[in-house]
Structure 1
Amino acid sequence: MTDLTSSSAHVALTGSQPGGETQWIRSAADVSRLINSGDGARNNARIVVAIALGGVFLDAYDLGALAFGIKDVAREFNLTPTGTGMVASAITFGAIVGALIGGYLTDKIGRYRVFMADMFFFVVAALACAFAPNEYVLGGARFVMGLGVGIDLPVAMAFLAEFSRLRGKGNKAASVAMWCPTWYAAISISYLLVLLLYAVLPESHTGWLWRLILGFGAVPALIIIAIRSRYMSESPVWAANQGDLNGAAAILRSGWNINAQVAEDAAATPPQPARRASWRNYGALLRGVYLRRTLLATITSVASSFAYNAVAFGLPVIISSFFAQSMLTTILVSLALNLLFAFVGGVLAVRMVPRLGAWKMSVAGYACQCVALLGLALIGRPEGGQEAGVAIAMLALFLFGQGFGPGSHTMTFASLSYPTSLRGVGVGFNQTLMRGSSTVSLFLFPVLVAALGTGVFWVIFLAPLAGLLALLAIRWEPSGYDVDAEDFAGR
């Protein structure tokens, strides 16, 4: 049996002592059971869930920040629509590479080590963006930031899934869905920062706006690094799956306030992991029971990403085309739409998914988006205040449907369709394809808008329609299902 002092599992030091009845663990299944049924105080496990969302926050912050600055970037560097698309999509191209690497490393060397390393990408890239002398340096810096995003998402989703109970309020599906309101909160904060800088910067220096906003991203990244070093622990389920029961017990005591101890009759030689980390595990996602789950998670993620990135990144452009108004009006309307509809939808998703399930809510969300995009396509460029009001209402419906449905639950399907041994590569594979969709969306949006105008909504409409059809064809509900038990079957 592994000695605790040589355990590879990192344990956060909180200074608290667990109480209550001793819980004896003999296997990884016992560790999973304690987390799944945990009703007591979770101590810094709640903090771990919150910190796990830090990378999501920075990813969304960067998207919202550049959405307002892309016109100034294009003007400063004399970019064509193709060059603009290149700069906008560089971060998602980096995330494609990062997700593949991060998914493998998350399962291979553990959640904690990957989590502590990836945030440095954000710091370096944010500062490089702020001082970029040309579009090539800016695109390269955003690629590096994308590497951090891609590496961070698989491990973040693994933490959210493996530090939450199985059913009831705050269950695994609800914890994973928290990534969605976190995203919209970050978008809103970037809008508020834009509003603040827009108000204080002299008109002669408004060209600095995009540099200041992107550079500011290094500040929360440094804060997150400091907090993670203090509170983060290795996933107890991953540690137990590697045969490190002593390390898993220590994490349960520190992070969950569970008085867990390794039983004396636990196997002297811990069992081998259910599935060793390997690049070949990506192939396992396309075999057996996982094939249907992977198809559903992939199609819904790709569809959601394509539609949302086109609408969210283009929101300032869309609103300014609806109204011949100032930059201030565009900022305020964008902020209101995100807070009142996207963020509220995301919060409702977290609260309601334990009861309704991810499948039903995703169907409802995609249906809302189909209606909204059809409405926007039919309206085209509004003529008069009434049509403009309807168009804004359609944007609001789209964002609410995104927050309530696929925006929250595509990650649920990606994270909770696979057990611990496959979760890293499962999310990594999903993120690779989803980021590929984002790259195409962000690259094509400026080009399509230049060619089609508001007719671009007909193209975007095809994405939620595909997601809706996939859900109707494959009925898989991950919320409340003990997928980790698939690792322990027959052991």
Structure 2
Amino acid sequence: MSAIAVPPHAADLAASASPVVIRSAHDVSRIVNAGAAQGSNARIVIAIALGGVFLDAYDLTSLAYGVKDIAREFALTPVQIGFVSAAITFGAILGALSGGYLTDRIGRYRVFMADMLFFVVAAIAAGLAPNAWVLGGARFLMGFGVGLDLPVAMAFLAEFSRVAGRGNKAASVAAWCPAWYAATSTCYLLILGLYAILPDHHLGWLWRFTLAFGAVPALAIILVRSRYISESPVWAANQGDLEAAARILKRSYGVDAVVERDASSAHKPRTASWRNFGVLFNATYRRRTILAATIGAASSFGYNAIIFGLPVIIASFLKQGPLTTIVAALLLNLLFAFVGGLIGVRTAPTVGAWKMTVLGHTLQFVSLIGLALIGHPGSGAFVALAILLLGGYLFGQGFGPGSHSMTYASLSYPTSLRGIGVGFNQTLVRSASTVSLFLFPILAAALGTKVFWVIALAPLTSLVVLLAIRWEPSGYDIDGEDYALSHGEPQAAAAA
């Protein structure tokens, strides 16, 4: 049976009677960039990767409503509450730093399955915690799993998607945002259901049930892993294992491929190394790294303060009761953040990441200034306006930096650097969220509603950097750029 040249679409490849020749990692990348054939497993892999993101968000959010009950049960001071709240992000910092390297070093699949085990053990331990020390330790372990997961989840999303058109890499990566908000909404739905069925004298257990539930979706992912999840074909090819890449293309893309090694066309991969952190700041990637880090850190600082502090903001600042607090938090996530995230996914291939991020940060800045000016609302009309402004902040987060902080972190780097790039970005992001989670209870207690002036500095900083660096990752073939650079071939930049 004779071999044929690479057709432009993966659907054509799957339907072809003859196998396609792959001679290098670049050939594998081009097949993936063309998009998966109908009925292939690639979309299922993307869905499972988003399931990992769902877990990240659920575990980070699950403590939000129970903070007051935990403080009362364990007699914690505001500073101690800050430490317990921030324990998960301390773990995420270390997890992201090591997870990014391991994702590039040992592969996407192995790291993904390891972090699922972290989620199961940590969720159960947190739900059964007898004291604040055990709770903090379990949350730290949970955070380590979150840190491991995000680099590998973003790698799966980027490396199982087409480069252009509907459902492109930018849209797939941006889908992490509605998955995140679906998780936070699920968390509040669970809290609402437990609040309705638990007797009043057992409401103190609500936070325990909520934390322990995080083990359920992790177990579900573990159970389906062997049938659908496989290694990234582009990563395997970058390791020089074209035979494994061909097998994965058959399994996940429905493409028959034969390996025909050609030294003249072979792409020598960049070996995974801790030194690759320095590569992020070379002439090619420096500006992209600065932009991705600024968007991610600013977005994380502001979002974590608002979303984690949402129950406190509604209950204390807006003087609402427990049931109103839960329902309002749920509706804000569903109607504003989740819908905004869906818009971010839909507009990624057409409008692009840069414009949507600028628009989102602008809306966030305006919303925070409005909340700072309203202060403690004295009437029902101002309460409604304050809640609408909170919704505006979350809506801007959804279609702007929420969706595209990961677009910039994932698609600014090729496969050989993606794990390290996302890991470095997430280290800074989790550092910002740690500071935010630690400081918010303290600043809220000291400043009251004036804390919104402090939070407003985050989107303002990101806006300034976005206007200075106009890099657009959506629709750009970053692996093609890496291949061209390794062969000394010029490729047009995607900056405006």
TM-score by length of 1: 0.94
Amino acid at match of 1:285: L
**Superposition map of 1:49-448 within 5 A:** 49-263=46-260, 266-267=261-262, 271=266, 273-448=268-443
Return the match for 2:457 from 450, 455, 462.
462
Residue 42 of structure 1 deviates from its aligned partner by 5.5
- 1:191 touches 1:331 (CA, 8 Å); kept in 2? yes
2: distance between equivalents of 1:386 and 1:327? 20
For the Cα contact (< 8 Å) 2:36–2:42, is it kept in 1?
no
Deviation at 1:323, TM superposition (A): 3.9
2-structure distance, mates of 1:364, 1:225: 38
Q: Secondary structure at the match of 2:30?
A: helix
Contact preservation (8 Å) 2:59, 2:142: no
Aligned residue pairs: how many? Answer: 473
Preserved CA contact (<8 Å) 1:18 1:254 = no
The alignment partner of 1:356 has SS state of coil
Superposed CA offset, 1:298-333 (max 9, x none):
011000000000000011111112443321111111
Secondary structure of 2:62's counterpart equals: helix
AA aligned opposite 1:378:
L
Q: Quick one: which amino acid aligns to residue 296 of structure 2?
A: S
Alignment-derived partner of residue 9 in structure 2: none
Whole-angstrom CA distance in 1 between matches of 2:70 and 2:281: 41
Is residue 37 of structure 2 the alignment partner of residue 20 of structure 1? Answer: no
Alpha-carbon distance change, 352 to 272 in structure 1, aligned in 2, over 3 angstroms: closer
Quick check: 2:358–2:463 contact (8 Å CA) kept in 1? yes
Structure 2 equivalent of residue 477 of structure 1? 472
Q: Give the gaps of 5 or more residues in structure 1.
A: 1-16
Q: Which residue of 1 aligns with 2:29?
A: 32
- Preserved CA contact (<8 Å) 2:25 2:238: yes
Counterpart of 1:218, as a letter, is: A
Question: Secondary structure of the equivalent of 1:66?
Answer: coil
Distance 1:37 1:377, change over 3 A: same
- Say if 1:92 and 1:435, in contact at 8 Å, map to a contact too: yes
- Report SS of the residue matched to 1:261: strand
Give CA deviations for 1:133-155 in whole Å, capped at 9, x if unaligned.
11111000000011111011101
Q: Any gaps of 5 or more consecutive residues in structure 2?
A: 1-12, 488-496
Q: Which amino acid aligns with 1:99?
A: A
For the aligned residue pairs, the C-alpha RMSD in angstroms reads 1.5
Inter-partner Cα distance in structure 1 for 2:383 and 2:369 = 15
Distance 1:388 1:27 in 2: 60
Alignment-mate amino acid for residue 178 of structure 1: A
TM-score, length-scaled by structure 2: 0.93
> CA-to-partner distance for each residue in 1:243-272, whole Å, 9 max, x for gaps?
111111111111011122223xx2379957
How has the CA–CA distance of structure 1 residues 97 and 270 changed in structure 2, closer, same or farther, with 3 Å as cutoff?
Answer: farther
| In structure 2, C-alpha distance between the alignment counterparts of 1:274 and 1:251, rounded to whole Å | 19
Preserved CA contact (<8 Å) 1:67 1:316:
yes
**CA distance, structure 2, for counterparts of residue 230 and residue 91 of structure 1:** 31
Please give the alpha-carbon distance, in whole angstroms, between the structure 1 residues aligned to 2:159 and 2:95: 21
Provide Cα deviations, 1:223-258, integer angstroms capped at 9, x if missing partner: 111122321111000111111111111111110111
Given that residues 25 and 266 in structure 2 are in contact (C-alpha distance below 8 angstroms), is that contact kept between their aligned partners in structure 1? no
Does structure 1 conserve the Cα–Cα contact (< 8 Å) formed by 2:317 and 2:449?
A: no
How far off is 1:273 after superposition?
3.8
Amino acid at match of 2:447: L
String of CA shifts for 1:349-394, please: whole Å, max 9, x gaps: 1011100000000000000000000000011111111111111111
Question: Secondary structure in 2 aligned to 1:320?
Answer: helix
User: Percent of aligned pairs with the same residue?
Assistant: 67
